[in-house]
Chains A and B, each alone.
Chain A
Amino acid sequence: MARKTIFIDFSKCIECRACEVACEREHNGMSFINVFEWQEMAAMALNCRHCEAAPCVEVCPTNALYRDEDGAVILAPQRCIGCLMCGIVCPFGIPELDLINKIMGKCDLCAHRRKEGKEPACAATCPTDALIFGDFDEIQRRRREKFTEKAIEVAKKAEKISLLGV
């Protein structure tokens, strides 16, 4: 089965931070997605990428990090010892330390919502579809389609112009 994940289309992000607020509500006051602004001209949300070859899963000494049936990288809190190794190896700096429970915290692609057949909260709420939950290959295929549609449209217009020119 194809793996579903959060696709980030930063060209549509309006930095409203609805994803952060939604994530925080679904995860007892901790938000595992963050929005970053770039030079007051663009913004992008970043959450766990649930990597195919996830360094955090490989390095975890207690096997607290594992992959669930949908392919999401999940933290089992009862096994976590808060050694921070996952945080150290993560190239995106995703895992955070939850000092109250003395364990790590990270995006679980809203496991509780997926169980009920719903999308993760951040993608469900994103007002401009800058975050899309779906199969990565499928999303890429749609983007290719859209691009070719646009290219064909431009070609059509160009044809008209040259015909008129004749």
Chain B
Amino acid sequence: MAEELIPVVCPYCGVGCRLYIRVVDGYPVGIEYATDIPGISNEKGKLCPKGNAVIEYLLAKDRLKKPLKAKEQGKFVEISWSEAIKEVAERLKTYAKDDPNQLMFFGSARTFNEPNYLIQKLARMLGTNNVDHCARLCHAPTVSGLKQVFGAGAMTNTYKDIEEADVIFIIGHNYAETHPVGFRYVLKAKERGAKVIVADPRFTRTAWFADIFLQHYPGTDIALINGLIHVIIKEKLYDAKFVRERCVGFDEVVKAVEKFTPEYVEKITGVPADLIVEAARTFATAGKGVITWAMGLTQHTHGHDNVRLLGTLSAICGYQGKEGCGCAPMRGQNNVQGACDMAALPNVFPGYQAVTNPEKRKFFEEFWGVELNGEVGLTVIEAAHAIDEGKVKAYYIMGENPVISDANANHVIKALQKLEFMVVQDIVPTPTMEFADIVLPAAAMLENEGSLTNTERRVQWSFPAVKPPGEARPDWWILSEVGKAVGFDRDGSKGFRYNEAADVLREINACTPQYRGITPERLKANLAGIHWPCPSPDHPGTRFLYKDRFLTPDGKAHLAAVDYRGPVELPDEEYPFILTTMRYVGMYHTLTMTGRSEALVKRWKEPLAEIHPDDAAKLGIRTVDWIKIETRRGVYPIRAKVTRAVKKGVIAVPWHWAANVLTNDALDPVAKIPETKACACRVAKISEEEAKKLMEKLPQIIPRIEVVKG
């Protein structure tokens, strides 16, 4: 049997790296680097450790192979696909008949554009806008914030622009660990002479490469950015022409930042005043500047304002609409941009067309052939609270793991127990599955085909490389079967009859303005992909946005004037430390994939809580000692690592191993993102036995699903 090389997109982070899977007869035997495809996001086919271990999780022994039905909580019997689809469709229909808003759908950034389009189509055709996905927990403020400032909630530039920049401001983003392949472009720029400014509460590996490092306290971003804007305005370093011609609201900004003198900012953030001045001067005078950010900036109750301020900072320096400039939010999943574009969001139709806009609604009513709901639906965290109130009764979860990923996990678990009906569609058992009524086995990303949109708006086609195990089926197939069984059994855009994933993409082309020219044929022929917006089949795609005008109604950038707000929960006598979360380069999100990958588990065995030497000495903690971290919401046992990487008074914990039992689910008023990056906590040394006892109470990362005989 001959070995084949199948081009796929790496299923992990938002860089969207190309690689080949070496396949013999549908079985993966290795990978090969895509050194021969020009213009891809991972130049020369470079990959990070997760990308290198990409086939290991596919071969996990506990992959789901048959649809399951729960007999009681956590105990399942195997059923056939037809039974499973029938049961799901009937239950969905019953709830929809009663009140469609009792249903909640979870799209997923971990699967292709096509299933995300289908799940929101299913939800909306059933009459509810209750559809959301994990972008709510990562880049919701980016989508809402950038939309308000510039008119579109996406990265304004590409990796090429980061490479060509003269100054790169990285804030709340451990670039080197979270997007190692993307960090390549920062180092290339630095080698050329570009300056790198890093702002982070931890001295991260990204900070190793910083020319200027600003270590602020978690949640004080508004003060820091306002401080930078203050210096830039006071020293007249801003681009007056750009501000005059293309921005509105500058006078309000001047007023708002007036009190944020470097000395005042130093008091709030703990960053020396002269460093703030130096950073502001370096950033504003470089000529070409890029700002990148990620979770450290967005996961706050003021995440939306943080993002708007970064947009403002970039705009007043004139760093928009030209090469080597822009705002670059780094997405965490390889298709989180796509899932947002496909409108797995409660407030928009595909292509960010508001559900509240009667004109857009009319278009989709005609397109899908049903009456649509014009009310904005529930978000991920709101849905968990709506369960408490009895408003939401059924969940359809596609490829998500809210028990680990949502803030205040203990509350989520309680809420899920109350649900009447829950469907989970996933590739392996997750802690969330324990509460499911029906489990649908899905094919993993590399076993399946479809289009993916990476962080730089690049849409790429991933080909099916590996045979799915057992009866696992592609996500688009499952949703199309459910759609047909629910009763939308019509041809074309009014039903769910599809023969292949490409059919769905053709329908997306027809209703999403940004994707109009991104046809499956073009994507399959061009492995490097196309950057949206691409309005027609002969359009080459758009490298950077806003060349002549912004996408706001008046075409101008709407600058943000924001006053300081810190984290909602500040340290006090009872809980004297600030807790922040972080991640490891070799581990990924809720560990459903990397936790089943031997090469990665070997290297990143367990979480370590970072604590400053002075705090550790006071509490008698040494590296590798067991400690317990307590917040108002939960307790978490973990080993300590005494390090100067964090400031005094700050504790940093990797969140992969269920640390979200600690975090705060207070929401940003606009973006509805929970504040997982800053809350108050207390720390105490404990014995190993006590740690083990506490460990038992945590949700299991890799649970065993019990399958019993009928």
Contacts and interface: CB of A to CB of B under 8 A. Distances in A.
A14 B176 contact: yes
B183 A127 contact: yes
- Scoring B45, B176, B599, B644 by chain A CB atoms within 10 A of each residue's CB, the highest score goes to B599
Contacts of B193: 150, 153
Contact of B46 (A12, A20, A125): A125
B324 interface: no
Contacts of B644: 40
Given A14-B183, A40-B643, A128-B183, A24 B205 contact: no
Given A21-B603, A25-B53, A42 B35 contact: no
A128 to B, nearest CB: 5
Contacts of B456: none
B47 interface: yes
Contacts of A146: 191
Interface string B34-49: 0100000010111111
Interface in A97-141: 118, 121, 124-129
Contact of A127 (B48, B208, B209, B598): B48
A41 interface: yes
A96 interface: no
B30 A21 contact: no
A21 B49 contact: yes
Contacts of A124: 33, 35, 44-46
Contact of A17 (B42, B183, B209, B586): B586
Interface in A4-30: 12, 14-18, 20-22, 24-26, 29
User: Which of B52, B209, B585, B644 has most A Cβ within 10 Å?
Assistant: B52
Nearest to A37: B205
Interface in A140-155: 146, 150, 153
B183 to A, nearest CB: 6
Contacts of A16: 48-49, 176-177, 180, 585-586
Contact of A24 (B31, B33, B177, B599): B599
Contact of B600 (A21, A125, A153): A21
Contacts of B598: 29
Given A25-B52, A150-B193, A128 B187 contact: yes
Given A14-B180, A153-B193, 16 more contacts: A14-B209, A15-B176, A16-B176, A16-B180, A17-B586, A18-B49, A18-B51, A21-B49, A21-B53, A22-B47, A24-B599, A40-B203, A40-B645, A124-B44, A127-B181, A128-B180
5 contacts: A17-B585, A40-B644, A125-B46, A125-B52, A127-B183
Interface of B: 30-31, 33, 35, 42, 44-49, 51-53, 176-177, 180-181, 183-184, 187, 191, 193, 203, 205, 208-209, 585-586, 598-600, 603, 643-645
